[in-house]
Amino acid sequence: MLAYLLCIAVLSGKYVEGSFGPFNQTYDYVTVREGAHMFYWMFYTTADVATYTDRPLIVWLQGGPGGSSTGIGNFEILGPLDLRLQERNHTWVKNFNVMFLDNPVGTGFSYVDDLRYLTTTNDQIALDFVEVMKGFYRNNPEFEGVPLYIYGQSYGGKMAVDMAIRMREAEEAGTIRSNLKGIAMGNAWISPVDSTLTWGPLLLAAGLVDQQGYENIQRAARAAERLFNEGRYVESTAQWAATQREVFGATTNVDFYDILTKMPVPSLPDTRSDYEISRDMMIRDRPYRSPVRQDEVNLNTLMNTEVKQALGIPEHVVWSSLSNDVFDYQRGDFMKPVTDGIEKLLNETDIILQKYNGNLDLICSTPGQILWVDRLKWSGAEAYQRAPRNPIWEDNRLEGYYKAHGNFRFFWINVAGHSVPRDNPAGTNAFLRDMTSFG
């Protein structure tokens, strides 16, 4: 096991005291507004380059909302160390500078002075993102002008859309000197009603439910759609959770993040409400088929002991993989789509919009993504529909398919569920290269 190192790292003439692990890194808090303090942790690329600014900066956003990028995204998915504290073979740090951002405020090591400072809308999250990036560039001015890409998984993909809009506005106003080139929406919660309405058809086609189970799921899903159309957004979120209960009952607890497996049946009755069960699952952002190895550390313990001490996190801040308050405060926004924002970016900017999806995912199912993609109103819509769907070959293995036109592209990734970078690193390399030319 690679023991973590408390070291003094020399980074371009600057000193970072109390780093975690043998990798060049920087981290800090930025007060994005009164009472709201956001934490970022960036690892400098290990690529063989003259200077690390020769490679792009990628910001990784976890889902939920309320999932921690510094913990889940870093140690469980694509950071330099895995949960055995061994170097990860497929870490993105090999090709990019990677920032893990605990976002929205209240998530992970980010914190608020009072719950009233939590965000309630996607746009508020985006405005906070602009502020934290301003703070990052103040602390690290060498990254001004370096190509910036935002990669968001699940709800992180939804957040990335409004972040791109607000970042481009700030760039044009001259209030930030970033160079946003593209965003990626990975298994993203872009159009929640579309996703929910496709759970039943996908499970029926896969043979995981019978006709009665399908009808029960669809009845619940259509109720969620009706509540949304009536503007009863909080109630629609509750009905979304009730639809998940119907899925669990019809499939004996299929895993929403990988339909080839199922979640464990509790040995004792689960006293949580449908909403609480669904909320905790969305924040967890990890398929149950990912076994916990005996040599893995407990993430919650790691983050609240060695990592917290090494990074100098304030004593009163407790890292948690379940930021329930963050999720609860977003309930009114949870079921709202961000397709209007995607159309705005496609029609008014040159920002690359990349959509990738693991084909084993249920919560953000590929059929649900295709529904909203096909409805997009943008200048290249017809040309995109006519564009060929090409195979993705990596080392003589078919890893999926892609389709692209202009600054929009869609990647179907095989043998992957909700978290494509963890499930299929080879397929991941394909869409990283497509957007950044590295990977």
Q: What is the pLDDT of residue 276?
A: 79
Q: Which two tokens stand for residue 7?
A: 């070291």
Contact 333, 159 (CB under 8 A): no
- The alpha carbon of residue 189 and the mean position of all alpha carbons in its chain are separated, in whole angstroms, by 9
Q: Is 182 helix (H, G, I), strand (E, B) or coil?
A: strand
Distance CA 65, CA 63 (A): 5
- Kindly name the residue from 102, 128, 258, 361 that is annotated as catalytic: 361
Q: Which fold has domain 6-192+304-308+333-436?
A: Rossmann fold (3.40.50)
Establish whether 37 is a catalytic residue.
no
| Number of Cβ atoms within 10 Å of the Cβ of 91 | 23
**Residues of each domain in the chain carrying CATH 3.40.50.1820:** 6-192+304-308+333-436
Q: What is the DSSP string of 14-34?
A: EEEEEEESSS-EEEEEEEEET
* Number of residues in the chain: 439
CA torsion sign for 266, 195, 355, 120 is: negative
CB 105 within 8 A of CB 32: yes
Residue 361 annotated in active site = yes
Among residues 67, 366, 335, 149, the alpha carbon closest in space to that of 226 is found at: 335
Q: How far apart are CA 327 and CA 274, in angstroms?
A: 14
> In whole angstroms, what is the distance from residue 430 CA to residue 419 CA?
15
**Is 90 annotated as catalytic?**
no
Residue 195 and residue 161 in contact, taking contact as beta carbons nearer than 8 Å: no
Q: Are 195 and 335 in contact (CB under 8 A)?
A: no
Choice among 68, 69, 154, 191 that is catalytic: 154
Q: CA 411, CA 394: separation in Å to the nearest integer?
A: 14
Which helix or strand (DSSP H or E) is residue 271 part of?
none
Q: Please, what are the averages of pLDDT over each run of 10 residues along the chain (439 residues)?
A: 38 53 96 98 98 98 96 97 96 98 97 97 98 98 98 98 98 98 98 98 98 98 98 97 95 94 73 78 57 76 97 95 89 97 98 98 97 98 98 97 98 97 97 96
**Structure tokens that stand for 93 in this block:** 């740090």
